[in-house]
Amino acid sequence: MTLPDPSPTIAADTAAHPETGPRIYVACLAAYNNGCLHGRWIEATTPEDVMTEVRAMLAASPLPDAEEWAIHDYEGFEGAHLSEYASFETVCNLAGFIAEHGRLGALVHRHFGDDLEQAEAAFDDYAGTYASRAVFAEELHRDTGTQIPAALEYYIDWSALARDMELNGDIMVFETGFEDVHVFWTR
């Protein structure tokens, strides 16, 4: 008796595409509303290039005179949210921001209610990457020249100090992984 091969077989046309950057799946609404899926994955490079691809996708629609579209899916945006009717300018600007800042950019973007302008401005006050909040607080005090007597040094709770700074609104903190803490000033 031969047992089936436990490894799944993936057809060539359904194999995962290598990530080249943030991209969107734009669907033809005429086809969609008639029970047919027709659309195209498009890299979010420039609004003009995206619109050119959308026009080509609509021209190839199985329904004549198709002219309406919607964004039905997206990938490579690291968790940032897109509306199905977001402008291609918004999509491409967000894609550029995510390409530059990665997952951290997506977290900051979501923190500001998906407001890209505020997220971009936050990076003007980026304090850096640290192993923990406590490491940030300790380095900050040492860098500012605060003298701590050696006898008291081990009594300082740097984690509590950093937590207080965050709760007071002095800093924003985003964790993107183990010992990967990003700190922003909130001036």
92's CB contacts (< 8 A; 6+ apart) are: 44, 45, 46, 47, 50
Residue 10 inside a domain? The answer is no
Domain that holds residue 150: 125-185
pTM score, whole prediction: 0.80
Tell me the two tokens of residue 143: 């860098």
Domain boundary among 69, 86, 114: 114
* Residues 109 and 132 occupy one common structural domain: no
* Sign of the torsion angle spanned by Cα atoms 40, 104, 108, 89: negative
CA R_g for the chain: 24
pLDDT in tens, 32-65: 999 999 999 999 999 999 999 999 999 999 999 9
* Residues 33 and 94 occupy one common structural domain: yes
* Residues 77 and 150 occupy one common structural domain: no
Helices and strands: H and E segment counts in the chain: 6, 6
Residue 119 inside a domain? The answer is no
* Residues 99 and 74 occupy one common structural domain: yes
Q: Which residue has the higher pLDDT, 20 or 185?
A: 185
